[in-house]
DNA sequence: GTGAGTGGTCACAAATCTTGACCAGCACCA
DNA sequence: TGGTGCTGGTCAAGATTTGTGACCACTCAC
């Protein structure tokens, strides 16, 4: 089918969708949310972050933080202390991302009950139809 | 480890994160964006949507639309015409979701070049370090 | 010296996404 | 009259992403 290479489909489209899939990722959103909750200038330790996000595996946290760091949204600071502690903090770019991300998180929180009701109704209708 | 069930970690947390992973999903965002671009009241045909989103497979489009329909964010209307055509349109809930989603999409679009530059810098630094 | 916390990495299993074929019916063109 | 394409999907299989649990070296408290 070769995917209908319309004149409309500009190459930016793929780049935007790729970036969107990172930025809108479940764990990214939760991490940015956790980091944004911290007072500005203060970072968050690795395991502290893991505790706050809740339900994330170490591997996924490491991986997501690396991506965020690569994209310049979080800054990673290693303190060469006795147990080498690592601090993660949002950069300016990260804080600017936090604005739409928090808006999405707020929407999600606000509409949670309604969506659960919709799902129940949908599944109920399916059950009756059968 | 049993995941440190802090007093801070309420059970809503999982529900929010689950919903966030749907709502913030790459394809969901792109579909809502495409649907929102349509004049209010007008739906979008299946293949029309597929063309507009670009790069999505039929299966993924079907699956995402079903989820969105179940959550009450899009309405599916089947016209029993000669080639049975199907229309998808955002509901009120879907339009309200579109607000934060579009904000995220706009952020993504605006910061695309900067993020690509950050990535190049990060990867370059890695290359030099080696 | 046993157990826990520091910040990870590695390998493997499970879930998810993509690819491409197929379906039935009709329109268009030669 | 037959070949091709469009309608809106479904199905199976392969590729990719995610989650699970173990392990690492080190230090502190008990």
From 1.20.120.430, 1.10.10.10, 1.10.238.10, 3.50.50.100, which CATH number describes the B12-129 domain? 1.10.10.10
Are B30 and A20 inside 8 Å of each other by CB? yes
Regions of chain A with pLDDT less than 50: 1-9
Quote the pLDDT of residue B39: 86
Quote the pLDDT of residue B83: 84
Mind listing the pLDDT tens digit for each residue in B54-101? 889 999 999 999 999 999 999 999 998 888 899 999 999 999 999 999
B43 pLDDT more than 60: yes
Quote the pLDDT of residue A2: 33
- Phi, psi (5° rounding) for residue A77? -120, 120
Pick the residue of A54, A57, A114 with the most B CBs within 10 A to test the interface with B by mutation.
Answer: A54
CB of A54 lies under 7 Å from some atom of strand D: no
Straight-line distance from CA B111 to C1' C30, in Å? Answer: 52
Mind listing the pLDDT tens digit for each residue in B1-21? 333 333 334 556 778 888 988
Straight-line distance from CA B64 to C1' C24, in Å? Answer: 24
Q: Thinking of the domain A13-129, which architecture would CATH place it in? A: Orthogonal Bundle (1.10)
Quote the pLDDT of residue A24: 85
Contact A44, A35 (CB under 8 A): yes
CA A61 distance to own-chain centroid: 11
Quote the pLDDT of residue B4: 36
How far is Cα B11 from Cα B108, in angstroms, rounded to an integer? 31
């Amino acid at each position: 089918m070769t995917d209908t290479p319309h004149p409309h489909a500009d190459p930016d489209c793929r780049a935007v969708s790729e970036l969107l899939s990172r930025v809108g990722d479940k764990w990214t959103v939760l991490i940015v949310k956790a980091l944004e909750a911290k007072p500005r200038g203060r970072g968050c330790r690795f395991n502290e972050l893991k505790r706050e996000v809740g339900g994330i595996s170490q591997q996924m946290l490491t991986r997501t933080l690396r991506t965020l760091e690569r994209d310049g949204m979080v800054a990673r600071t290693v303190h060469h202390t006795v147990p080498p502690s690592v601090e993660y903090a949002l950069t300016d770019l990260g804080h600017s991302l936090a604005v739409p991300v928090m808006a999405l998180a707020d929407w999600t929180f606000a509409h949670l009950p309604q969506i659960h009701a919709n799902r129940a109704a949908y599944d109920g209708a399916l059950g009756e139809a059968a």
